[in-house]
Amino acid sequence: MTESESADLYGTFIALIFLTPFIGGLLADRVLGYRKSIIIGGILMGIGYCMMSIHDLNMLYVSMFLVIVGNGFFKPNISTLLGNLYNEEQFKSKKDDGYNIFYMGINVGAFICNFFGAALYNIFGWGEAFFAAGIGMFVGIVVFLIGTKHYKHADVLKPARKEDMS
């Protein structure tokens, strides 16, 4: 792939990464619910990252597609589910604290994973580094499933119109 082709592919990938959460959020709000959307998204991203370890251009396109769609389901719904945990009156004052802990965990994880990914790349190669990212996503989904009892009540569908709420 030329530098121009790779830049076009990367730009398209990033644009779709930012576009698909709108669709994933709508589907979660109206049809699937947040937990199902997060699980579907995490599984798709995990498969996509694992498939990036296969050195083939067609496989790259498929794996990027899976990561894009998975991100669309995962990204908007994990933070919405967290916000719903703090919608009850007795927890509203703790909402900022909950988001601070959530985003600190994300940033610390992103910081540490850069070193882990770089070490895997230097020792084994890109394939193993991407495969490890996929396995990490699957581990995250398992942890999410184990903790279901703590947030199941916050997974509520939103009606499309106000008159649907009656």
For every residue of 77-115, DSSP letters joined together read HHHHHHHHHT-SGGGGGGHHHHHHHHHHHHHHHHHHHHH
Residue extents of the structural domains in the chain: 3-165
Contacts with 54 (C-beta within 8 Å, 6 or more apart), sequence order: 63, 127
Instruction: Express each pLDDT in 107-135 by its tens digit.
Output: 998 899 999 999 999 999 999 999 999 99
pLDDT reported for residue 6: 92
* Fold of the domain spanning 3-165: Growth Hormone; Chain: A; (1.20.1250)
Q: Minimal CA–CA distance to 38: which of 85, 76, 90?
A: 76
- Residue 124: helix, strand or coil by DSSP? coil
- Alpha helices (H) in the chain, listed in sequence order: 3-27, 34-51, 57-85, 95-123, 126-146, 148-151
Which residue carries 């597609």 as its tokens? 65
pLDDT reported for residue 108: 94
Of residues 87 and 69, more confidently modeled = 69
pLDDT reported for residue 164: 52
Q: Give residue 153's pLDDT band: very low, low, confident or very high (50, 70, 90).
A: confident
Q: Give residue 88's pLDDT band: very low, low, confident or very high (50, 70, 90).
A: confident
CA distances (Å), origin 132, targets 26, 50, 95? 30, 7, 33
pLDDT reported for residue 93: 80
- Residue 138: helix, strand or coil by DSSP? helix
Of residues 88 and 72, more confidently modeled = 72
Instruction: Express each pLDDT in 28-86 by its tens digit.
Output: 988 999 999 999 999 999 999 999 999 999 999 999 999 999 999 999 999 889 888 88
